[in-house]
Structure 1
């Protein structure tokens, strides 16, 4: 009779491969991440600022929802054919959820783009900001709008992967340490924490 296999205990820490740690967690690449972050942030800020300050008020103001309604109506027209630009399940969401609440979505889109842009430029909660930016890019793509959305979506995905270092040249350098994400050594934020090097955690880094 074969003895039952013993369960394998989960490790306390899953170590990261050296290449992954270098690309997504090494502060030496912070300048590269900062350029990507600021570029994406600028694109979002300009897009959102144009909506918020639109003199016709079709995004924010008395006519809020007019621009969104037109956009959604155009997206619903792309649902025909064997290979439609807008899939049926997303068309249902646009028709039954987004379109009836176009005014609310208008404010969310306009101010959401501005907030994502500011957060990325400042390097504040970069991973979270990039995630919501990617959600907006995906929403536009699902609605059949290409433009710069594929590029921004790819860059947003990279920023989410590199969230620990993408804001190193920004406010995240202090905010992440404040929340205990990056450790402190003798009261000073460690530049390359032990777990990010792929080795054992530094017992003095807490």
Structure 2
């Protein structure tokens, strides 16, 4: 005699007999991936195309922004390092944001992309938005927290990582 768990026959099943809750759990990180991917791509491209931002000094420049937050940051030495070459720092952040955004959106090296996003958000929180009072007015801490589930879970669905894993299993005969 086989033992079968009782299932509600009115529960919709998706994905080979799993309940809708199981399927929803598998897809739960997709909205976060799309939001963070698009946002970081946009943020990076916005910086790269803003002629005022990529300057050592002047209204809206990365240099003036870093000088303005230096004394209120959690780690002024981080800001001092950025101020050694503010334009290079601006390019590093912008290119990093684009790379993280693309990796997150397409799910390629998703955990590495999430780590990059978390590190960018952490560095911006400790410098630019550290003085936000109350703390929840600063968005960098919220972005840091948003990256953590993706860092832990990766991109198991609709991702190049998942496609590559499936291909390796097929080619290698693994299940």
Contact map agreement 2:78 2:127 (CA 8 A) in 1? no
Cα deviations by residue, 1:141-196 (Å, 9 ceiling, x for unpaired): 10141532122111101100001xx2421211123456x6xxx1x548xxxxxxxx
1:137 aligns with 2:128: no
Cα deviations by residue, 1:35-55 (Å, 9 ceiling, x for unpaired): 11111111111111111111x
1:107 aligns with 2:91: yes
Normalised to the residue count of structure 1, the TM-score between the two structures is 0.62
Q: Normalized per residue, which structure has more helix? A: 2
The CA RMSD measured in Å over matched residues stands at 2.4
Normalised to the residue count of structure 2, the TM-score between the two structures is 0.71
Distance 1:33 1:131, change over 3 A: same
Contact map agreement 1:76 1:91 (CA 8 A) in 2? yes
Q: How many residues align?
A: 144
Task: Indicate the SS of the match to 1:168.
Answer: coil
Contact map agreement 1:72 1:94 (CA 8 A) in 2? yes
1:34 aligns with 2:20: no
- Quote the residue 1:68 is aligned against: 62
Stretches of structure 1 that go unaligned for 5 or more consecutive residues are 1-25, 79-85, 189-203
Moved over 4 A (4+): none
Task: Indicate the SS of the match to 2:149.
Answer: helix
Match of 2:53 among 49, 58, 61: 58
Q: Distance in 2 between matches of 1:162 and 1:68?
A: 33
Higher relative contact order (CA 8 A, sep 6+): 1
Stretches of structure 2 that go unaligned for 5 or more consecutive residues are 1-21, 133-137
